[in-house]
Amino acid sequence: MSTPSRRILVTGAAGEIGHGLVSAFAKDPDVHVIAVDLRDPGKAIRANLDDLHLGDICDRSFIDHIVTLHEVTEIVHLAALLSTRAEHVPERAHEVNVDGTFNLLRVAAEQAQSFSRVVKFTVPSSIAVYGLSEQEKSLGGKVGLDECLRPVTMYGANKLYCESLGRYYGRHYRSLTSEGPPPIDFRCLRLPGVIAAETKPTGGTSDFVPEMIHAAAAGQPYECFVREETRIPWMTMPECVDAMLGLLEAPALPGCVYNVSSFSASAGELEAALRPHFPNLQVTYTPHAGRQAMVDTWPDDVDVTAAMRDWGYAPRWTLEQALEHYIVPSVRRQYAST
Ligand code: SER
């Protein structure tokens, strides 16, 4: 068997996106996955990994040690503290979300220089980079890539800065002295709320929709922490993994940061769409002032035309299709087996 030519370091491999992405990588014999996480990802994910290192991405010597063991050709950096969790521990969030990303970019640049090869660096960003005013939010509709970038959360501020930092390493690194191309091919996917049926989310502010779905499948009442009319863009986890893979595998790209989203829906619309599948569903709305204020600064929808034009991204499902083809059957399977 030939040696895989892609050796991908995946941080946050035990998280929700890591779960889906490493199983996709496991199907590709040309990929060797070097996973990094704080915690053991469990047997199912471990089976899809070639190497696993447990440790903290903020620990520079830990990251340095990993790259002495492996010649890394790509980094997929998923580890992060999401928006709600980050508001409880903002300083720690900055360390993980910014310093951790900086450590990895720095190591990627060093790997590129050592092996005279550009290192691809792919990272999710988030709709939390937006910060719409009340008036802008009331207009509704799709928000463009470069509009309303005034995040009100630590997580959003961290992600917006990391977009810039990545653009710097990917396009402008050492612009006064360096010859040759920048060391990193930086690619960033601004994600909407992501709905996974296989895992329960923690620490995010878009968790109200996946939480409602899991409660419906478990036959439990759900007390939603935002108002019924709260609307943001969404995609399901399989669509998110496909979008990550599409971005990773695209040839050279004109842009560094891309919006993706499949549909825009409010909490109430999701409840209504779930009801035919789960007629006993009980949802009450008890908005949490702080979390509501955060989500109220996120757009109803985002403009995805750059991703469609530059690397062939295509939103796959409407809300109803997502429920029919993925969410309901997967979540039912999961709760039937527990
Ligand atoms: N899912 C993220 C959060 O809720 C937003 O992209 O923090």
Backbone torsion region of residue 61, taken as left when φ is above 0, otherwise alpha when ψ lies between -120 and 50, otherwise beta: alpha
Look at residues 198, 261, 164, 210 and name the one whose alpha carbon lies nearest to residue 21: 198
Same domain, 183 and 205: no
CATH of the domain at 213: 3.40.50.720
Query: Are residues 56 and 186 located together in one domain of the fold?
Result: yes
Strand partners, 189: 124, 258
Same domain, 214 and 251: no
* Active-site annotation, residues: 155
Phi-psi region of 286 (alpha: psi -120 to 50; beta: other; left: phi over 0): beta
Cα of 206 vs centre of ligand 1, distance in Å, is: 5
Give me the pLDDT at residue 1, please: 58
Q: Which atom of ligand 1 is nearest to the CA of 82?
A: 7
pLDDT range class, residue 338, cuts 50, 70, 90: low
Tokens of 305: 């035309």
Q: pLDDT value at position 170?
A: 96
Band of the pLDDT at 156, cuts 50, 70, 90?
very high
pLDDT band at 200 (very low <50, low <70, confident <90, very high): confident
Phi and psi, residue 53, nearest 5°: -125, 125
Final residue in a domain of this structure, among 211, 244, 259: 259
Domain that holds residue 243: 6-192+236-259
Report the share of the chain in percent with pLDDT over 90.
91
Report how far ligand 1's centroid is from the alpha carbon of 186 (Å).
21
CA distances from 29 to 7, 9, 50, 166 (A): 11, 16, 11, 29
Provide mean pLDDT across the span 124-141.
97
- 249 and 284 fall within a common domain: no
Looking from the CA of residue 127, the nearest atom of ligand 1 is 6
72 and 123 share a domain? yes
| Per-residue pLDDT at 31 | 95
pLDDT score, position 3 = 83
Q: Residues lining ligand 1, CB < 6 A?
A: 82-83, 126-128, 155, 191, 193, 204-206
**Do the domain assignments include residue 163?**
yes
The CA R_g of the chain, rounded to the nearest whole Å, is: 20
Q: Which of 8-12, 44-48, 104-108, 311-315 shows the lowest mean pLDDT across its residues?
A: 44-48
What is the helix (H) or strand (E) element at residue 309, kind and residue range? helix 305-311
Let me know whether 273 and 254 are in one domain: no
What integer pLDDT is reported at residue 4 of this predicted model?
A: 87
How does residue 178 score in pLDDT terms, banded at 50, 70 and 90? confident
Domain boundary among 244, 259, 274: 259
pLDDT tens-place string over residues 207-228: 999 999 999 999 999 999 999 9
The mean pLDDT value for 87-115 works out to: 96
Q: Which residues contact 158 (CB under 8 A, 6 or more apart)?
A: 80, 86, 93, 94, 97, 98
**Domains contained in the chain, number:** 2
In a domain, residue 1? The reply is no
Pocket test for ligand 1, best of 206, 261, 296 (most atoms within 8 A of CB): 206
Tell me, yes or no, whether 181 and 273 share the same domain: no
